Chain A
């Protein structure tokens, strides 16, 4: 089991009242499986993704990634887990603006010490980024930046890939294309994929779909 959530709860303090976002969420995700997380805006999809990605801590409940229970880990161990086992694709692409595309793509795998040039070359050509390697993120279009972020995530050969609206900034044709590539790459590496999306189209291409509503899975 790559990811397991058990009764996860999370609330945010909004000026005076406590707003519950997740009210007890449990599910599993196995290696090589794909999962779409759907729900309305503000239903807590991103929060759930962040908790699964060890970026935020749950208020209650337990989360296992690669068999490790997150609440038992300190900052260093969580960071270790993030760079070795998890990869994230954010809504805002979160590239490092002062590094070239090539350096950005290699960054996470270099951090975890799993830099694989051949693998990266393969990903880059699959995503059609060969021409952009020496450019800086600010020179790229939104779609290109999104593909760089995807390339970076996959290049690290994570066990768990978490993507938050990865094709939200892309036109329909490009989005379809990028998703194809992503699924192909995930299938090749046996990575577990959880994707947050509004798009029925995308959700339908996953093994499983979960709907988040008022903090509960329905």
Chain B
């Protein structure tokens, strides 16, 4: 677990409180909430929803080298809003962070990035689809055919993705209930990507191919009063712990569990 993540997440919710957004824990904080029977509007809904508090694009892949070695790959872009909506330049309330990882049978490489919204350093646009933070990019003419890059101090990758199946909607047509109290998210996946490309590792470049799964989920998880901002921190910290520890067989349930954890 990187201290930086912890640190970063702790700051922002607190600063929101400091500014007088004290009812962060209630529903009346201005964020939109997922409604039953959603109608998705693609490709627009592939992009960011800053009126919701939290959102992510989460890609995992199982890969094989030409010699049959298994590899795992992960690329995640998180967005969290301190307030709903956008603002000019540095005043944007959106904060972005990202995580990328590659696992080989013996090693685990991971790195992360951070950015403020509003100045162009990070964001997600729907048409053409482009999700980026710094030089990390997931982009394509549409959601069907995309390229993916990430770099770290000791590894990186350049991949191509080709969808060969339909989008899958979780829960009730993409309205995914997370708790008995009724908290829910919008949640769909593209589980049928063919993926190939190059892993850049300290030992050299490796050509790989395999299958990938992309989740896109957004919500405005109201935090219970007694947990306030810390609830969010705990959730994401736990999430990251598990991501960091993920093995060659990615555990899909991590993302699903994030929200459950939040609500208990």
Do A and B share a direct contact in the complex (Cβ within 8 angstroms)?
no
Task: List residues of chain B with CB under 8 Å of any chain A CB.
Answer: none
Task: List residues of chain A with CB under 8 Å of any chain B CB.
Answer: none
